[in-house]
């Protein structure tokens, strides 16, 4: 029974790894960037891809004019959002100096004058001022600061998502502009055809990627569940001789909990690109924390065991 379970687990894990390797073979940095741009545009402005796939050499100038106007207008709006993000960030940064009841009272006494300059250009000026004025003491402030930081991360993620989308669209627009700038009509037709082929190819790869990713996740969780069930089965049929194992599981759970609370929820550029939430980032951090603790703990145990054995032999 044990051999069958072990073989099944390794077979499933091996299949998941093979799927990941096979999908990654066809990607270099350039194709990865293009794939990412296509995914971004498909998610945020699919009409642009449709128009580009249906474009001809004759309609390229109209395509360029249409999306240059659109991107310029959205960049102007994004610039305004960036200003609001910067105001929000500066306020949070300045609040970091509040670390006691005394410093809170000092900051609050200066807040009326501070808020006039700080929020002069803020769209949510009243919300910022009224929100802080409702904070009564340092204990309330800690909750207020935590909520404020979480709200900022959401706003920042939305801003960066829009910025990445515009960046991807600008990349496509540049490629089209370069094609249109060519003097040779034949070269224009050839380059446009190649770009359209790549877009259609990346659309197909996007679907394949989602299927592969979901299948890999499924295989991973099946493998993980099989390992846990086998472990529990083995523990309960030999419970008297597995106190150390149960203690180890308890320590592992404790490490996961500690890792969650010490991990940052700040969104990295990669997390924003993947549109992950702060909570997901914390769980990833918890997993990494647990892995490092177990890894270095194992190394330390091996080293200590070797030293202890060497000392014992020397005696």
* Local confidence pLDDT in tens for the 315 residues of the chain: 455 555 555 565 565 555 555 555 554 445 566 767 887 888 888 899 999 999 999 999 999 999 999 999 999 999 999 999 999 999 999 998 999 999 999 999 999 999 999 999 999 899 999 999 999 999 999 999 989 988 998 898 889 889 989 999 999 999 999 999 999 999 999 999 988 888 877 656 556 556 666 666 676 666 667 666 766 676 666 666 666 666 777 777 788 788 878 877 665 655 555 556 667 777 777 777 877 787 787 788 778 887 878 777 776
Q: Do residues 172 and 285 share a domain?
A: no
Q: Do residues 6 and 115 share a domain?
A: yes
Q: Do residues 147 and 32 share a domain?
A: yes
What is the Cα–Cα distance from 138 to 156, expressed in whole angstroms?
26
Residue 282 near residue 260, CB atoms below 8 Å: yes
Please give the pLDDT value at position 213. Answer: 60
Please give the pLDDT value at position 216. Answer: 62
Residue in 161, 87, 164 with CA at minimum distance from that of residue 121: 87
Q: Do residues 223 and 275 share a domain?
A: no
Residue in the block written with tokens 């001022």: 129
Residue 285 near residue 264, CB atoms below 8 Å: yes
Domain count, the chain: 2
Q: Do residues 198 and 122 share a domain?
A: yes
What is the Cα–Cα distance from 315 to 308, expressed in whole angstroms?
11
Q: Do residues 256 and 153 share a domain?
A: no
Residue in the block written with tokens 């051999």: 3
SS3 (DSSP) at 241: helix
Q: Do residues 47 and 93 share a domain?
A: yes
Record the tokens describing residue 28, joined without a space: 């270099």
Q: Do residues 80 and 224 share a domain?
A: yes
Record the tokens describing residue 18, joined without a space: 């093979």
What is the Cα–Cα distance from 85 to 258, expressed in whole angstroms?
31
Residue 66 near residue 99, CB atoms below 8 Å: no
Domain encompassing residue 251? 238-315
- Boundary (domain end) residue, out of 204, 235, 266: 235
Phi, psi torsion values for 216, nearest 5 degrees: -65, -45
- Boundary (domain end) residue, out of 170, 201, 235: 235
Residue in the block written with tokens 């190394």: 299
Q: Do residues 230 and 249 share a domain?
A: no
What is the Cα–Cα distance from 302 to 189, expressed in whole angstroms?
65
Rg (CA), the chain: 28
- Boundary (domain end) residue, out of 203, 235, 267: 235
**How many angstroms separate the Cα of 5 from the Cα of each of 39, 231, 237, 242?**
39, 11, 16, 20
DSSP character at residue 239 = G
Q: Do residues 22 and 171 share a domain?
A: yes
Q: Do residues 190 and 287 share a domain?
A: no
Q: Do residues 292 and 215 share a domain?
A: no
């Amino acid at each position: 029974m044990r051999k069958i379970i072990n073989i099944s687990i390794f077979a499933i894990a091996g299949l998941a790894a093979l799927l990941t390797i096979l999908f990654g073979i066809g990607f270099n940095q350039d194709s990865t960037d293009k794939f990412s741009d296509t995914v971004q545009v498909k998610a945020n402005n699919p009409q642009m891809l449709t128009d580009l796939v249906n474009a001809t050499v004759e309609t390229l100038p109209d395509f360029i004019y249409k999306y240059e106007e659109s991107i310029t207008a959205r960049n102007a709006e994004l610039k305004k959002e960036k200003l609001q993000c910067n105001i929000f960030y500066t306020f949070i940064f300045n609040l970091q100096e509040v670390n006691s009841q005394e410093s809170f009272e000092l900051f609050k006494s200066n807040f009326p004058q501070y808020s006039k300059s700080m929020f002069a250009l803020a769209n949510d000026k009243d919300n910022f001022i009224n929100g802080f004025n409702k904070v009564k003491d340092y204990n309330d402030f800690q909750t207020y600061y935590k909520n404020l930081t979480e709200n900022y991360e959401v706003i920042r993620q939305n801003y960066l998502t829009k910025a990445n989308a515009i960046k991807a669209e600008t990349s496509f627009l540049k490629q089209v502009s370069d094609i249109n700038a060519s003097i040779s009509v034949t070269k224009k037709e050839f380059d446009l055809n190649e770009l359209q082929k790549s877009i259609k190819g990346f659309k197909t790869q996007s679907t394949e990627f989602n299927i592969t990713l979901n299948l890999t996740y499924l295989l991973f969780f099946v493998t993980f569940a099989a390992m846990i069930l086998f472990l529990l089965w083995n523990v309960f049929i030999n419970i008297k001789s597995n106190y150390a194992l149960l203690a180890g599981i308890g320590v592992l759970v404790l490490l996961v909990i500690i890792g969650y609370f010490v991990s940052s929820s700040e969104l990295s550029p990669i997390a924003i690109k993947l549109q992950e939430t702060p909570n997901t980032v914390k769980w990833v951090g918890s997993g990494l924390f647990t892995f490092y603790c177990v890894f270095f703990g194992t190394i330390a145990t091996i080293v200590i065991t070797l030293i202890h054995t060497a000392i014992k032999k020397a005696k």
